[in-house]
Structure 1
Amino acid sequence: MADNGEVEFPILCETCLGENPYVRMTREPRGQECKICTRAFTVFRWLPGRGMRYKKTEICPTCAKLKNVCQTCILDLEYGLPVQVRDAMLGQQDTVPVQASNRRDYVAKLENSVNAGLIDFSGKAQPAARQQLRHMARSEPYYKRNRAHVCSFFVKGQCNRGNECPYRHEMPDSDSELARQNISDRYHGSNDPVARRMLDRTAKRTDRLAPPTDKSITSLFATNLPENITQKDLHQHFAAFGELKSVIMVPKNSCAFINFKSRAGAETAAQAAQDTGCIVNGSPLKLTWGKSKPKGPASELAQKSKNTAAVPPPGSQTSSDLYPSQDPTAQGSSVK
């Protein structure tokens, strides 16, 4: 890295860089001021792919290293999550001053330490918090984020360029909250609507794994099963929390029922999934509690019919009568 904000290559995430391995960039030394510390820095501009919009760096590399974020989307480089989500999970606090004058001096003071790699942002994070972040992160780049902006003339019904228009011809999302986010709030991890939605989903998942009041429920329901997971994999993963009664997979619906012998084992597994996520063979699974068995006349009638079908009537032939025994020592059998 050169002095005065001149760098050879920007700090970017895989999504912003694009899927084209031969992407070409324009480089403008001291092209604009950083949106965080207001210091001039080298601006890079590139096209991440066909049909995408041109992207450029928004913050300087020093500010990006202070938060370990991408210079363009301001998302965490390791997990691809908003700063507010990452800090909430890791228990970190924003130490970068919000006021412009103090922020500029703070960044300049720590620039040498940041460039020397002496600052480790999340080195003291708990393993459970890291596991939870890996569970929330995307497994692959989200290139859809690089799409062109919506054509404002099309929204007004005045665009006459047709297929030659470089912008998207579709109506914008009615949710105006996402349109009001800004780079400063995203960087400091405050008032970020995307992060707020993700944290709300996590809170709902926590409520979903709360133990039910019915103590007879000892089963968990796992969904989002990939094709490479087997019944043996599920048994090995959940057997660590308690003795299992059975593991029933339904490959057609990509789900499984994990039945524990005790309520304590099911609660331990649910608590572990709530803290660190349910990850089996590197694949995150969605876990919920099973439902209680139905009670009432209908269930009793179904149980009676099941018992009646299980007992054969007197004088009827059983399976052993229809199919002779395969035991070589049985009478009438012969071994060649």
Structure 2
Amino acid sequence: MPPKADLNKAGWEQSDFPILCETCLGPNPFVRMSKQEFGRECGTCARPFTVFRWNPGEGGRFKMTVICQTCAKIKNICQTCLLDLEFGLPVQARDTALAVRSEAPTSEINREWYAQNAEGKLAPHESLMKTGRVGSATKEMLQQLARSDPYYKRNRPHICSFFVKGQCNRGAACPYRHEMPTDKDDPMAKQNIKDRYHGRNDPVAKKILSNYAASKGLVPPDDPSVQSLFLTPLPQDATEDSIRTRVVQALPFLSPSDIRSIVHVAKTKSAFVNFTSRNAAERAAEAWANGLDWDGSIVGVKWGRSKNKTAPVASTSETVAT
């Protein structure tokens, strides 16, 4: 007679091998892993799961899984670094390029229930992430941002805190790096699992997207009051309502209330999209670095101008809202 199930462990996750990217797994094809069932709580859904720990290679630090396999499959990400398995990008950067919104609950309410229900819908090696329609601008953006080769530098040991204080006596035998931090206020050091998983306030993704947008000529203006983007050329049959619908669909990570107004200039086939905050405008510019896909055509995107400067189109200068 089989042993009676432990009701206290209902919904807890057991697995035989982790879901890892090539970088976290390391260059050594013969990796020894330790396995601990229900070793810790998942960093996102808080359910106990099987924890794996291993050394990815000589000179690297020991790594371990930090989220459960269900949460990893939902987002199609690595259980350790939380980067996308296909593109090698942070969740926020990938979702911004693909124009998808996270379905997982971001609060503690119902997060465990959601994970348990999602687990029943998942087939082996399947993800719940829905990419939707991918236009040519999105494809180009992902191709240019994606990291195809492993980046083993991420596996280096952490900086030795005793060395920073001048108190480390281990010398060359110290397993940590003897380097001084380059910048104590570096935002890259202020990451957390939940923000990285849900694709919000991720400094790594922000740096990737802002650098890419700048390379495409969408450098945010120095004037912080500029909160508008200029779209041109629009289709002949475009209307203010159709532009608003298209913009909302292309920016699922923003709320419709983040769009203050849309000024359509039919004569010049252009429009100004005015946002309620500078942050919303910057996120939209990052998402549209290669232009806005519109039924197979690409609509160009530029920043609006300050009130004391000429607008991108002289005949519509009075329509600029900043």
- Bin for the TM-score computed over the shorter chain: 0.5 to 0.7
Answering whether residue 194 of structure 2 is matched by residue 189 of structure 1, we say no
Matched, 1:199 2:213: no
Give 1:183's aligned amino acid. Answer: I
The one-letter amino acid paired with 2:156 is R
Which moved further from structure 2: 127-136 or 82-91?
127-136
Q: Point out the structure with max Rg over C-alpha.
A: 1
Tell whether the 8 Å contact from 1:62 to 1:115 is kept in structure 2 after alignment. no
In the superposition, relative to structure 1, how do residues 125 and 52 fare at CA in structure 2: closer, same or farther (>3 Å)?
farther
Please report the TM-score for the alignment, with normalisation by the length of structure 1: 0.60
Cα distance, 1:41 vs. partner? Answer: 0.4
Tell me if structure 1 keeps the 8 A contact 2:75–2:128: no
Structure-1 separation of matches of 2:128 and 2:48: 25
Q: CA deviation at 1:122?
A: 3.8
Q: Which amino acid aligns with 1:84?
A: Q
Q: How does 1:278-297 map to 2 (within 5 A)?
A: none
> Helix, strand or coil for the counterpart of 1:100?
coil
Residue aligning to 1:178: 188
Q: Which amino acid aligns with 2:139?
A: R
* Correspondence for 2:65 among 44, 57, 65: 57
Structure 1 vs Structure 2 CA RMSD: 2.1
Alignment pair present for 1:124 and 2:105: no
Cα displacement string for residues 296-331 of structure 1 (whole angstroms, at most 9, x for unaligned residues): xxxxxxxxxxxxxxxxxxxxxxxxxxxxxxxxxxxx
Residue of structure 1 equivalent to 2:111 = 103
Q: How does 1:115-154 map to 2 (within 5 A)?
A: 115=123, 119-128=127-136, 129-154=138-163
Structure-2 separation of matches of 1:114 and 1:131: 30
- Say if 1:34 and 1:22 are closer, same or farther in 2 by CA, change over 3 A: same
Q: CA deviation at 1:208?
A: 7.1
| CA deviation profile, 1:117-156 (whole Å, cap 9, x unmatched) | 6755244241422332121112310000000000000001
Change (3 A) 1:122 1:95: closer
Q: Which of 81, 90, 100 does residue 89 from structure 2 map onto?
A: 81
What does the per-residue CA deviation read over 1:226-284, in whole Å, with 9 as the maximum and x for residues that have no partner?
xxxxxxxxxxxxxxxxxxxxxxxxxxxxxxxxxxxxxxxxxxxxxxx9459xxxxxxxx
1:32 is the counterpart of 2:40:
yes
Within 5 Å, give how 1:1-336 maps onto structure 2. Answer: 4-115=12-123, 119-128=127-136, 129-174=138-183, 175-207=185-217, 274=290
- 1:5 & 1:120 partners in 2: Cα distance? 18
Any conservation in 2 of the 1:25–1:44 contact (CA below 8 Å)? yes
Identity %: 53
- Contact persistence 1:132–1:275 (CA under 8 A): no
Q: SS at 1:45's partner residue? A: strand
Corresponding residue of 1:302 = none
| Inter-CA distance 114–196: structure 2 relative to 1 (3 Å threshold) | same
Taking the aligned partners of 1:120 and 1:28, their CA distance within structure 2 comes to 27
1:78 CA drift (Å): 0.3
**What amino acid is aligned across from residue 146 of structure 1 in structure 2?**
N
What is the CA–CA distance in structure 2 between the aligned matches of 1:102 and 1:208, rounded to whole Å?
A: 39
- CA gap 1:118/1:196 in 2 versus in 1, 3 angstroms: closer
Q: Which runs of 5+ in 1 are unaligned?
A: 210-272, 277-336
For 2:225, the equivalent position in structure 1 comes to none
Give me the whole-angstrom Cα distance separating, in 2, the residues matched to 1:119 and 1:136: 21
Question: Is the CA contact (8 Å cut-off) linking 1:90 and 1:122 kept in structure 2?
Answer: no
CA shift, 1:90, in A, is 0.5
> Using a 3 Å threshold, how does the CA distance of structure 1 residues 122 and 153 change in structure 2: closer, same or farther?
same
Task: Give every structure 1 segment of 4 or more consecutive aligned residues whose post-TM-superposition deviation is greater than 4 Å.
Answer: 116-120
Q: Which has the higher contact order (CA 8 A, sep 6+)?
A: 2
Q: Tell me how far apart the structure 2 counterparts of residues 14 and 138 of structure 1 sit (CA, whole Å).
A: 11
Using a 3 Å threshold, how does the CA distance of structure 1 residues 18 and 163 change in structure 2: closer, same or farther?
same
Question: What is the count of residue pairs matched by the alignment?
Answer: 211
Give yes or no for contact 2:42–2:67 (8 Å, CA) kept in 1: yes
- Look up the match of 1:301: none
Code of the aligned partner of 2:115: V
